[in-house]
Amino acid sequence: MSTWIKLTSVLAAAALLVNANPVVSEKRQDTAEHCGQWDVVTYNQYSLLLDQWGKDNAESGQTCASITSASGDSIAWTTTFTWTGTSDTGVKAYPNLQLDDVSGQIGSISSMPTSWSWSLTDASSDIVANIAYDIFTSSTAGGSNEFEIMIWMANYNAGPISYTYNAEGNPTPVAESVSIAGSTWDVYHGSNGSNEVYSFLTSDGSEVTSFDGDAYDFFSYLISDQGFSTSQYLTTFQAGTEQTLGSGTLVTSSYSASIA
């Protein structure tokens, strides 16, 4: 065999080896800060939504958010906001971390395990906001939202929606001192004009800065004590900060959620 033929054979074999082990480039996670009104950043089963739906009602201000780390089912993000004006102009934004592609009837779901460790820094004296899970359901799969279930981790001079208010103008709960997921809650019921809203706020006003439990336990209570229908379909599962006025930075150091 000639030297030329041997060299050609070696080069051909080397080419086969290279093609058999292609270099795979990894997609880098977007960790940039985003401030657009409807910006979305995705990671695996999650989407970070800026959701500044009431921005035009503010004198000025904006929300910015970024994913700071992510690994497996765990994710961390930061939200910074500043809103000027008055609180009677309503919510300006609900930047949140959404669990995508949720579905199924409430009666067919067995659990909604979730954990959330967070802190609020640089809060202004005029802040009106909350830190909360926001969960929606509908009577049809993929239909329009009919019920909203809010689980407040913290309340900063805001208030839940209610059908009834006391003489001082404060919302009155439909149930008090309900034990769920390691905390005691007062339950409020009202309407925002589009959805029936159930809100859970800690009875003593304390913050739940490290939640680790099953969000389905709140549905179990609503089913047994408030007549909530198990035929409702889950449409949305989110966690974030609902902002009306003032400024602050929500730092989520660790978060996870799933539906089983």
33, 146, 207, 242: which one is catalytic? 242
Question: Residue 109: CB partners within 8 Å, gap ≥ 6?
Answer: 216, 219, 234, 259, 260
| C-alpha to C-alpha distances, 217 to 40, 47, 180, nearest whole angstrom | 29, 24, 7
33, 146, 148, 196: which one is catalytic? 148
Q: How deeply is 175 buried, as exposed, middle or buried, from its count of CB atoms within 10 A (0-12, 13-18, 19+)?
A: middle
The gap from C-alpha 73 to its chain's centroid, in whole angstroms, comes to 14
Q: What is the DSSP string of 175-216?
A: EEEEEETTEEEEEEEEE-SSSEEEEEEETT----SEEEEETH
Asked if 26 is an active-site residue, the reply is no
| C-alpha to C-alpha distances, 148 to 4, 130, 134, 204, nearest whole angstrom | 76, 15, 7, 23
The gap from C-alpha 91 to its chain's centroid, in whole angstroms, comes to 16
Helix, strand or coil for residue 217? Answer: helix
Q: How deeply is 174 buried, as exposed, middle or buried, from its count of CB atoms within 10 A (0-12, 13-18, 19+)?
A: middle
Distance CA 79, CA 96 (A): 9
Determine the residue type at 31.
Answer: T
* Catalytic residue IDs: 148, 242
